Structure 1
Amino acid sequence: MTIKNFSIEYDAINHKNTFSNGDTINGRVIVEVSKETKIQSLVFIAKGKARVCWSENYGQNQHHVYWSNEKYYDVKHHILREARQDGTEVIGKGRHAFPFSFKIPDRKIPSSFKSSIGNIVHKLKAELHQSMKLTKKVNTHFTFVSKADMDTPGLMEPQNGCKDKSVNVFGSGNISMDVHTKQMGYKQGEALQVTVEVSNQSTRSAKPKFILYKKQSFFAQGRRRLHKEKIIKEMSEAVASSGKETVTKVISIPTELPPSILNCSIIKLEYKLRIYLDVKFASNPEIKLPIVILPSFEVPAMKPPAAAGFGFKAFGDPDQAPWSTASQAQAAPQEVDPPPPYDAYAMYPSKYASAL
């Protein structure tokens, strides 16, 4: 086999191995050949897109598949161009590292996301074209975390809600609660403080309970698929019959909780705080407040220098100088902490290719 290794790798800019709007990704396309080899072209591609797909059964073996796609950027640049008269380039025997530098568009783009119904994917690809041979392709995902949209209405404003409920089964009287929070937006790891003023003018005790849950919505062809999941459940001491009490509960937002996704038209990741009074033998009065989880960014730990003579702006630059066809020797990659787990909400990149 002439092509011994064809891979793509990139440099981390922080210990979480994440990127955000406007960040530049520097990396290399590795081509290792066993002998002098003719190549028509070597192409670098960067893509960001979302896709949802699910099926619904309607009985009698009838079902319908709902799907939708959304694209955020699709960048393609030639690293090696057809330079010779016969439309080929020749690379010598050995390992070649072709640098690239890609700037993520600095605009509203949703964060990486993964579930069984929908994904938001950010990836880097390379294609190697040779005459009379199948195109070789390689890709790697990178974890993109969108910057917080501080223009979200009411993000940093106080929230409150009121609810009254009559107890008329196995009891009598009225119960009311008034709920307050400092704001709607909270960073990962931040403390969410909830204050509940309970007036229990009934013959039953009422126990305040708190549930933070996530709400995933998927949209396609006029339909919606919904999935809810509890994250945190807490409770306070019961408020006795004919009593009044102010209850304060502090809920710590988990640091690993994925940020809200509100800027994608086909996938939404939302959070809600449900506060209710548990009253035996009666329907429970409840209030739901929206919670926006904001990303907590770390200061970049490293900034690899951009490769000289290589690079391009997001979505291309027609005035850019032509790409050089000379490969560069690859330096040993720096040691960084491993990327975060590939769970239901984030996509971690593939392992780096082996060093020289």
Structure 2
Amino acid sequence: MTLKHFSLEYDKVNEQGTFSPGDVLSGKVIVVTSKEIKVQCFLVKAKGKAKVIWTEQDRQTTVVHSNKKKYFYFEHIILQDKNKGDGSEIMGPGRNVYPFSFVIPNTDMPSSYKGKFGAITYSLRAQLTQSIWLVHKTKTEFPFLTKAEFPFASKSDIIIIGLKEQQHATKISFYGSGKVTMNVTSEQMGLKQGEAIGVSVDVFNDSARSVTPKLYLCEKQTFVARSKKVVHTNDILFGTGESVPAESSQTITKVLSIPPEMHPTFFNCCMMKLEYRIKITLDVPLVKNPEIKLPLVILQGLLKPHQQKQKRSIWFKKLPG
């Protein structure tokens, strides 16, 4: 083949390799050919978009729900023949390097994200057209980070105020002639990637059954396509307490560590959002498990993942063992 190599590279603007609104996105396209070639059109595109798609079964018919939104789209023409099709532009043999540069719009846009039924992507594409039958393409995505400090609270200051506050919840359940009271406390509602918080569960078991508390980190992805909505959830177990016998009480303390790679909470996309909860359940034999859910907001971390240091609880007891 005449075209030996066709690649697309971009220049990093920071150590993390991320881009944000207002940044300059520059780079180069590298083309290596074994001999001189004729070119109809050679261009680079920059695009930011969100797209959701899923299917539902309606009797014998499969219904597809989809939607998309474009945040920006730019084209930079490197070569184009003057007569639009005669291949009058010539690319010489060997290694050819073509620079390009775009300015990302300085507007509120969500961070890059890939979920169960949708994604927010920012990409660069290069296309070299020699003829209608001979088109070469290459693509690369670049990580995008929103400038919004709180991409989950554009319309509510209450959430922001409550990020550092302790959270409490109580649930009372009845089993036969007895009752079980569960009190749950978490250190705060918001924390950054790589940080940790303590969660305390007080169980007062006045029933004739034994109960076992379990603690989960719950992820909730919501996708919207016009008037339709689909939700995908994922529960991650991070702690199980010892069984609390009948007519007894017990306090369980666990530390929830947020992985540095876990995506922050966001609401600033009209087609998808990402939320988290702390869920505590009581595993009771032969009975529907009661549960308590506390909101959890995961914030963008300031440090690179390998520099993250876990924040340990000050006011909770040290974990047993």
Place the TM-score, normalised by the shorter chain, in its bin.
0.7 to 0.9
Aligned match of 1:268: 273
- Cα offset, 1:148, TM superposition: 5.8
- Aligned partner letter, 1:68: N
Aligned match of 1:158: 165
The answer to which structure has the higher strand fraction is 2
2:48–2:71: 8 Å Cα contact kept in structure 1? yes
CA distance in 2, matches of 1:230, 1:129: 48
Cα 1:282–1:37 change in 2 (3 A) is closer
1:148–1:295: 8 Å Cα contact kept in structure 2? no
1:184–1:292: 8 Å Cα contact kept in structure 2? yes
User: Is residue 128 from structure 1 mapped to residue 135 from structure 2 by the alignment?
Assistant: no
Structure 1: 4+ residue segments shifted above 6 A: 83-87
Q: What do residues 11-43 of structure 1 show as CA deviations (whole Å, max 9, x unaligned)?
A: 345676544444443321112334444445432
- Cα offset, 1:140, TM superposition: 1.4
- Cα offset, 1:188, TM superposition: 1.9
- Aligned partner letter, 2:229: R
Q: Secondary structure at the match of 1:8?
A: strand
For these two proteins, the number of residue pairs brought into alignment is: 296
Aligned match of 2:71: 72
Normalization by structure 1: what TM-score? Answer: 0.70
Higher relative contact order (CA 8 A, sep 6+): 1
Task: Kindly report the root-mean-square deviation, in angstroms, between the aligned alpha carbons of the 2 structures.
Answer: 3.2
CA distance in 2, matches of 1:74, 1:159: 44
CA distance in 1, matches of 2:281, 2:19: 39
Normalization by structure 2: what TM-score? Answer: 0.77
- Cα offset, 1:239, TM superposition: 4.2
User: Is residue 247 from structure 1 mapped to residue 252 from structure 2 by the alignment?
Assistant: yes
Cα 1:133–1:286 change in 2 (3 A) is closer
CA distance in 2, matches of 1:64, 1:116: 17
Pairing of 1:53-202 with structure 2 (within 5 A): 53-59=53-59, 61-80=60-79, 88-115=88-115, 117-130=117-130, 134-147=134-147, 149-150=149-150, 152=153, 153=157, 154-155=159-160, 156-158=163-165, 160-169=167-176, 172-202=177-207
Cα 1:164–1:33 change in 2 (3 A) is closer
Q: What do residues 261-305 of structure 1 show as CA deviations (whole Å, max 9, x unaligned)?
A: 422222223222101233344443321122222232446xxxxxx
- Cα offset, 1:240, TM superposition: 4.8
CA distance in 1, matches of 2:180, 2:66: 46
CA distance in 1, matches of 2:188, 2:148: 15
1:160–1:178: 8 Å Cα contact kept in structure 2? no
Which runs of no fewer than 5 residues in structure 1 stay unpaired?
300-356
2:214 to 205, 209, 225: 209
- Cα offset, 1:203, TM superposition: 3.8
